[in-house]
Amino acid sequence: MSSLTAVLYGALVVYLGGWFMGYWMGNFALLLFVLSAVTFAFWLAEKLYFKPARVAAAARLEQMDRDRRAELHKLGIEKVDGDLAEARQRVLEQPWWLDWTAGLFPVIVAVFLLRSFLFEPFKIPSGSMIPTLLIGDLILVSKYHYGIRLPVINTKIVENNAVERGDVMVFRYPVDPRVDYIKRVAGLPGDEVAYLNKRLTINGQEVPTTALPDFYDEESMRYLQQFSERLGAVEHRILVDRDRPGFIPAVANFPHRDACTFSVEGVVCKVPPGHYFMLGDNRDNSQDSRYWGFVPDANIVGKAFFVWMNFGNLRRIGAFN
């Protein structure tokens, strides 16, 4: 069993190493599920077989010591050397390969359940959601806000809150579901969403905006136009680059592509049933539904709601819209 454990840990190191080096795409949810299953098997074997075997061996050792002392007593020998307590402790001691498998099961399964059904941490890797979320923000995502889904297969089993315009949502990228994206919900099923000349319109009604002081983007070292936008019940800030054109270049084919009309002014889309139209708050620096289409309900991961850490700026910690 020690050899099997060493092989399993070796495979884990290879998998994580290849993931870190970029040789393949990892799936953390699947990894936690597999680790939970493997450590549970060792934990069950420990409870049902290995620990009872050690307890029985310790009992035999104690019986042998009693028999030995009884025989020596018959011979008139009262003082007997030997530390039975230390020997018993060594017999009962859990071997390293059980300590690193069965011993880790409660921790791994707790992390798996917490991450699958309650909250999942994410790191913001790009500037598509500036100024709401900055590169390096570590955020929490509510996994149950839109309903409870089975881990790994992401099948919804319990309904909860409906998706609303203005929500900041994490979802599986429709082009490559192994990758998680974060954007803001602009269009619900059945909505007609128009983004023309850098103005957002929902069902024929222009989304209200208020001009704010320009925002200095440290990455590009440029000032961008900043607005306060009210999308649904949520008021948030957006950025617009006055120097970039409004049209959407080189749009690839995607499911329900015929529901969108592209022009030099921008794009107009009719959101299909069971899908959502997503936009980044950094409107001219965001690959979103304007480029790759709609997000199906099955791809939803959860609602982002809290920055729990930014090591470069502790003032970032807190809730956001």
Task: Catalogue the active-site residues.
Answer: 128, 183
**Cα 68 from chain centroid?**
60
Residue 90 CA neighbour count, 13 Å, CB half: 6
Domain 118-319 fold: Umud Fragment, subunit A (2.10.109)
Parse the chain into domains and list their residue ranges: 2-112, 118-319
In the predicted model, what is the mean pLDDT of residues 211-225? 89
Q: Which of 37-41, 57-61, 70-74, 179-183 has the lowest mean pLDDT?
A: 70-74
Angle 28-45/105-117 helices, nearest 10 degrees? 140
- The percentage of residues in the chain with a pLDDT greater than 70, rounded to a whole number, is 98
Distance CA 100, CA 159 (A): 38
The average pLDDT across 228-240 equals 94
Q: What is the mean pLDDT of the chain?
A: 90
Q: What pLDDT is stored for residue 82 in this prediction?
A: 65
**Alpha-carbon dihedral 22, 28, 34, 39, rounded to 10 degrees:** 110
8 Å CB contact between 128 and 142: no
**What is the pLDDT, as a whole number, of residue 106?**
94
Flag whether pLDDT at 20 surpasses 80: no
Question: Predicted confidence band at 80 (pLDDT cuts at 50, 70, 90)?
Answer: low
Write the CB contacts of 46 (distance below 8 Å, at least 6 apart in sequence).
94, 98, 102
Q: What is the mean pLDDT of residues 134-150?
A: 94
Q: Which stretch of 72-86, 108-122, 162-176, 246-260 has the lowest confidence by average pLDDT?
A: 72-86
Statement: residue 3 has pLDDT above 90: no
Question: Above 70 in pLDDT, residue 250?
Answer: no
The Cα diameter of the chain in Å comes to: 108
Q: Read off the amino acid at residue 56.
A: A
**How much is the pTM?**
0.84
Q: Which residues contact 168 (CB under 8 A, 6 or more apart)?
A: 129, 132, 133, 182, 183, 184, 185, 303, 304, 305, 320, 321
